[in-house]
Structure 1
Amino acid sequence: MSTTSAPIRYPDVSSPKVMTARAWVLVVLNFVLPGSAQVLAGNRKLGRLGLGCTLALIGLAVVGMVVYFIWPQMIYSILTIEWTLWALQIVLIAYAILWVVLTLDALRLVRLVRTRPKARGWIAAFTTILLVVVAGGAGYGAYLVNVTRDTVSSIFAVQAAAAPPVNGRYNILLLGGDAGADRDGLRPDSMTVVSIEADTGRATMIGIPRDLQQVPFPKGSPLIGSDFDENGTGSYDCGSDCQISFLYPRMEAYPEYAALYPDAEAQGSNPGIEATKDAIEGALDISIQYYVLIDMQGFAQLIDALGGVDINVTERLPIGGDENLNEVEGWIEPGEQHMDGTTALWYARSRHTTSDYDRMGRQRELQTAILTQFTPANVLSKFQGIANAGADVVKTNVPQSTLAYFLDLALKTKSLPIDNVELVPPQVDPENPDWDTVRQTVAAAMVLSSAK
């Protein structure tokens, strides 16, 4: 075959001008449609393999985008199943290797020594840049898939059974655990029930004071008749040490108490969480399907991974110090503030110039702000840090099998206003609560949320 009829495969090697033009064509083709350079000028078998893999990946990407816009929950489901993540990682690694092979072979086909001397460096540099961008991108994609798989498997309970909504709602107990140096074990200082409508994603956040006392246990709870029910009334009413926040550390400190919940660990929980959940179910007269425990010591890491959080501060708050404001390290000033993790943590914890109930409100405000910033673009751009932080600070019994559903539900929740209910004075006296009032308040909030 003559060079006239097939100038790419059979070029005029004596013409630097022709060989230079041919080189740029092959390099660009190798980038635009990997494998096409080999089909035109080299090993056609290798080229067909490259083209087939490239077209298959492009096809999968197009199908994935179409499905995402039509049925996003399907994409979430695929990307949260361990074996599909393994498969995706293998595909990306294999394609990165194939791209390297195709690029090096394309560079061989170019025959740099036959091109114009001044063009050789540019051709080689351009090819190298493309090699790093594409192969490196595929390799980095495989790494992120690995991070996703590790994060999903470390945070979400693999074997836990999926729970159905109750009265059309999912109630999730959100605990902020603080294991400070001055405390014996972890104590949940922040307790919130996030009640979400299963159909719409509309959410109501119910704040529970940590000093709530005389909390009734629900029917069938193993706490009834135990040492936690000293007066035999079916409630946690044994004096000043019976604040609801003390249930967790007491359950965890004594094996005989932990034995009240023998299946807790197997279900992705622990006795302290289960006892706290029982108490809040009894107090609010609701069923709680899942919990999420956030380690407040690592909370700052998650905020920093998100790139900080925006909060409108309404009053001056101290950073550090004691009740007499000795050794205060600084102040959080009123006004719009973009907080890093450390500042946000103090915003949630500070109480020496305000009350515990003011602090509850700030914690709920911070939780809402974080939810707002969990946008797909923000998560993707900071994915590795967010994933690593999440694996370090979050524990939950939400099963992997429901993760896609809850991701979809969370996106609906984020787009809607979030209602807040605080069970604090003067409406609720934590030391002597009127449980009828508490339950009526919670029920009314849920009815109002459903009506919106």
Structure 2
Amino acid sequence: MARYKPKKKSRALRIVLFIILLLVVAVAGFGFSIYHNINKTAKNIHSPLERTPEVARPANLSLSKKEPFSVLMLGVDERSGDRGRSDSIIVMTVNPKKESIDMLSIPRDTRVEIVGKGIDDKINHAYAFGGVEMSMNTVEKFLDIPIDYYIKMNMEGFKEIVDAVGGVDVKNDIDFSVGKKHFPEGQISLNGSDALAYARMRYDDPRGDFGRQMRQRQVIQGVINKGANISAIWKYDDVLDALGKNVETNLSLDEMMDIQKNYKGARHKIDQYQIEGQGSKIDGIWYYLVPQEERERVQGVLKEHLNI
């Protein structure tokens, strides 16, 4: 009996299938490695809070049911022996059905009631007085919405996060320089050091702190966009290392995975807001004063986005 000789086409097919099998096994192993390292980083940055909310939800939040949620982002300048102050205060509300994120910057000099301290003071002093818990409670009362989660970021370490995702692209609307670095008007790419300088500049901006807040939101949006890109997977070690050293949150890994699964469409539409007010001195101290009507307007926007 003559031996059967497989056709070249069949041999080629088997080779292709074998290569695909090897790739699947390699990717599965890579995926396990990613999950293992993500799990480790998530545990390192996880810092839950025990607090009594100023604005309670009528029922417990369920991310698995795709309910809207809110996050307080605090950019903190921490110094040795000093808790520091929250240099950047941003509230994000995420609505999966609307597939959108609302991002509100609160000027750090805004005069508010500091919950737990019993005084009216600049909102960024809440962190200096009582850390994340007092900041969350103070922002909650000021905006009259529940704050579900927080993300605290070391501003000096923020440049490491930007570098880890491969830099960010922003549309700069004002020509300016910081030191020897020039930021021309138009679409520009920023590395970590440039992004930090870009986000912090305010004295050469006629809009003052509002311009700075806008640039902070731009950089954060750039990180969100880059972090969601498939190319970021290949830099996951750098990303996780930067997050582990510079970020703290009460989000658990399970909650992060629920957000990735149920809310990822929201990142494609990010609306940015600011609070209108005016600067004034009280007892010789400069504050940013927000009229009650403006405060209620902003509260209404956020409440509608949270479906409350």
Task: Report the equivalent of 1:213.
Answer: 111
Contact map agreement 1:195 1:204 (CA 8 A) in 2 = yes
- Aligned partner of 1:261 in structure 2 is none
Among residues 209, 217, 234, which one is paired with 1:381 in the alignment?
Answer: 234
Is contact 1:216–1:283 with CA below 8 Å preserved after alignment?
Answer: no
Answer yes or no: is 1:441 the counterpart of 2:298: yes
Contact kept? 2:106, 2:275, Cα under 8 Å: yes
CA offset at residue 184 of structure 1? 3.2
Q: Distance in 1 between matches of 2:273 and 2:49?
A: 33
Q: Name the counterpart of 1:338.
A: 189
Question: How far has the Cα of 1:293 moved from its partner?
Answer: 0.8
CA distance in 2, matches of 1:342, 1:163: 40
Is the 2:279–2:288 Cα contact (8 Å) retained in structure 1?
no
- C-alpha RMSD over aligned residues: 3.7
Distance (Å, rounded) in 2 between the aligned partners of 1:370 and 1:439: 31
1:395-434 correspondence to structure 2 within 5 Å = 395-415=248-268, 417-426=269-278, 430-434=287-291
Q: Distance in 2 between matches of 1:418 and 1:31?
A: 43
Distance 2:79 2:204 in 1: 20
> 5+ unaligned residues in a row in structure 1: which ranges?
8-24, 35-53, 62-91, 93-133, 218-222, 230-235, 252-271, 320-327
The reply on whether 1:313 has 2:172 as its aligned counterpart is yes
Distance 2:232 2:113 in 1: 39
Q: CA offsets, 1:30-51, max 9 Å, x none?
A: 99549xxxxxxxxxxxxxxxxx
How big is the shift at 1:378? Answer: 2.6
Distance 1:426 1:171, change over 3 A: same
Q: Distance in 1 between matches of 2:149 and 2:60?
A: 8
- Within 2, Cα distance between the matches of 1:437 and 1:335? 31
Cα gap change, 1:211 to 1:303, in 2 (>3 Å): same
Q: SS in structure 2 opposite 1:214?
A: strand
* Higher normalized contact order (CA 8 Å, seq sep 6+, divided by chain length): 2
Aligned pair in 2 of structure 1 residues 404, 169: CA closer, same or farther (>3 Å)? same
For 1:201 and 1:165, how far apart are their aligned partners in 2? 17
1:246 aligned residue: 125
TM-fit CA distance, 1:370? 2.0
Choose between structure 1 and 2: higher strand proportion: 2
| Structure 2 SS opposite 1:185 | strand
User: Which of the numbers 283, 294, 314 marks the counterpart of 2:153?
Assistant: 294
1:144 and 1:450 map into 2 onto residues whose CA distance is 32
* Structure 2 counterpart of 1:189: 87
Deviation readout 1:176-205 (Å, 9 max, x if unpaired) = 112257x93332111111012253442211
One-letter code of the match for 1:286?
Answer: I
Q: When the two structures are aligned, how many residues end up with a matched partner?
A: 286
Residues 204, 445 of structure 1: 8 Å contact kept: yes
Q: 1:141-160 alignment to 2 at 5 Å?
A: 142-156=32-46
Q: In the superposition, relative to structure 1, how do residues 216 and 142 fare at CA in structure 2: closer, same or farther (>3 Å)?
A: closer
Greater displacement, 191-200 / 332-341: 191-200
Give ranges in structure 2 of 5+ residues lacking alignment: 6-10, 51-58, 281-285
Given the two structures, how large is their TM-score scaled by the length of structure 1?
A: 0.55
The 8 Å contact of residues 318 and 352 in structure 1, kept in 2 or not, is answered as no
CA distance in 2 between counterparts of 1:427 and 1:408 reads 43
